[in-house]
């Protein structure tokens, strides 16, 4: 069986089998192999086996598919060791026996060779062949009289290369024939050394005095570790029988938006809904804890069994958690307890977060519930000046009324009214929040701390939900203002 090994990407090091019927690769959970890579298309490429050879095809993607660094326009055959790059993900392919030969990726460059350092004088130019070597002239006699001029040699004799003096050895003693010149040079050397030492001491003292006058040297900040990527996941549950097909899919994107899709043929319900705002940090943290508490990282990659008669069941969860991506799939097999509890938690969260719990009620019950929520929302909106939090509650009630009617087909006229009033109330609420934030900023810039604190307290009453990002931001600003007020 052919295999592929992820060399680079969130799932680096993972090895995946390529079944005889092939597999599809992409970002969507509908693929056989899912990589949470934002540079990938939802359906990026497809691998298949034909006549014992492995082939790959690009599915008309934006960023393309590369084999050994070259883009493929349609399809290409893969040889063992070939490297395929899609987006920020790179994987290599094995041979038909599942063995991975050396990949065709670029070889690592050899380590640099350092040339030896030779401290030697440059070699003298060679003397002409006709010149005879001359002996080194003898030291002059101590008498001041100049020696008689010696005949000029035909060419300077070649001298052997001598090591360069780096000043680390003591100077050679002067010849005794120099008389009083040697003690004089020694004295000057000692004086120069003493003067140099004094200069170094004075320079160090001046530098210390200068640094002390400027205060302690600034400490370089320790570079912060890059934050881990936020939780992302894709959850799919598919149940097929001879009488019905039920499909539930939920995706949490990198930017925090939650999308839920429900298809129930027996009830003739088809629902697609994406959250209007990204999930808060607390909500993502709660979901991440659910993955950890249910031991998602220790589950097997696949649990596969034989399908029952006229029934097919698939449950798959792909997640990017703590910077590492993995997929767990259960197909026609009893779900492990940890996996089952995790799936139940995800379903409950999605239905509650997006208001899709309404799918459990009949049409008559849903219309009655929507009328009650709409009447309550109108009352809260009319009393929004009596209590600041009423406008916030009115927005929630309008949205709840629309959510009750969202799964109905055809939808009653009440649905359009609920959607319109929810949008108008949400816009009015956001304008109030923006005005209060502006009032607080203007007061803070003029150091009117009391006015800034009053505007922020009013904002907290306008958005009374502690899980709302607008509440959290205003609360942090109020703490800073109160700290300044206490320091006056």
- Residue pLDDT, tens place only, 10-63: 788 889 999 888 899 988 888 888 888 888 888 889 998 888 889 999 887 878
pLDDT of residue 234: 94
Tens digit of each residue's pLDDT (9 = 90 or more) over 384-393: 999 999 999 9
What's the order of all strands across the beta sheet hosting 66-67? Answer: 15-17, 3-8, 89-93, 83-86, 66-67, 70-71
107 against 15, higher pLDDT: 15
State how far Cα 84 lies from the chain centre. Answer: 22
pLDDT of residue 215: 52
Percent of the chain whose predicted confidence (pLDDT) is above 70: 74
**Residue 180: DSSP 8-state:** T
pLDDT of residue 277 exceeding 50, the answer is yes
pTM of the entire predicted model? 0.38
In order, the DSSP letters of 55-119 are EEEE-S-SS--EETTEE-SSEEEE-TT-EEEETTEEEEE--TTS--PPPSSPPPPPPPPPPPP--
Strand, helix or coil at 236? strand
């Amino acid at each position: 069986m052919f295999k592929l090994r992820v060399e680079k990407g969130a799932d680096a090091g993972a090895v995946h089998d390529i079944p005889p019927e092939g597999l599809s690769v992409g970002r969507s959970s509908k693929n056989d192999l899912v990589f949470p890579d934002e540079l990938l298309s939802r359906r990026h490429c497809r691998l298949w086996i034909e006549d014992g050879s492995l082939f790959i095809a690009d599915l008309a993607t934006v960023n393309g598919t590369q084999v050994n660094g070259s883009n493929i326009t349609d399809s290409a055959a893969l040889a063992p060791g070939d490297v395929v790059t899609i987006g920020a993900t790179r994987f290599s392919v094995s041979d038909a026996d599942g063995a991975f030969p050396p990949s065709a990726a670029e070889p690592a460059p050899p380590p640099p060779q350092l040339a030896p350092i030779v401290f030697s004088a440059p070699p003298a130019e060679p003397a002409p062949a006709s010149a005879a070597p001359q002996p080194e002239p003898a030291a002059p006699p101590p008498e001041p009289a100049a020696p008689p001029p010696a005949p000029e040699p035909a060419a300077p004799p070649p001298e052997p290369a001598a090591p360069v003096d780096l000043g680390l050895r003591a100077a050679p003693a002067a010849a005794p024939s120099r008389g009083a010149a040697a003690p004089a040079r020694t004295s000057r050397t000692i004086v120069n050394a003493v003067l140099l030492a004094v200069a170094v001491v004075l320079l160090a003292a001046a530098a210390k005095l200068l640094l002390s006058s400027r205060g302690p040297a600034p400490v370089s900040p320790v570079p912060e570790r890059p934050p881990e990527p936020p939780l992302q996941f894709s959850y799919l549950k598919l149940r097929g029988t001879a009488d019905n097909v039920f499909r539930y899919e939920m995706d949490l994107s990198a930017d925090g938006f939650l999308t839920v899709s429900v298809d129930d043929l027996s009830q003739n319900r088809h629902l697609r809904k994406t959250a209007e705002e990204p999930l808060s940090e607390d909500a993502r943290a709660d979901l991440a804890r659910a993955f950890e508490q249910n031991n998602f990282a220790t589950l097997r990659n696949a649990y596969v069994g034989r399908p029952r008669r006229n029934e097919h069941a698939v449950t798959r969860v792909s997640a990017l958690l703590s910077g590492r991506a993995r997929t767990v799939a259960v197909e026609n097999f009893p779900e492990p307890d940890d996996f089952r509890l995790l799936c139940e938690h995800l379903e409950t969260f999605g239905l509650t977060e997006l208001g899709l719990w309404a799918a459990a009620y009949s049409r008559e019950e849903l219309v009655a519930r929507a009328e009650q929520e709409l009447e309550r929302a109108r009352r809260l909106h009319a009393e929004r000046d009596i209590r600041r939090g009423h406008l916030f509650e009115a927005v929630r009630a309008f949205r709840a009324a629309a959510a009750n009617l969202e799964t109905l087909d055809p939808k009653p006229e009440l649905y359009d009214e609920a959607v319109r009033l929810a949008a108008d109330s949400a816009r009015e609420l956001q304008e109030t929040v923006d005005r209060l934030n502006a009032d607080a900023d203007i007061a803070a810039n003029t150091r009117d701390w009391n006015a800034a604190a009053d505007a922020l307290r009013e904002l907290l009453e306008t958005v009374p939900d502690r899980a709302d990002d607008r509440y959290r931001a205003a609360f942090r600003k109020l703490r800073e203002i109160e700290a300044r007020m206490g320091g006056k």
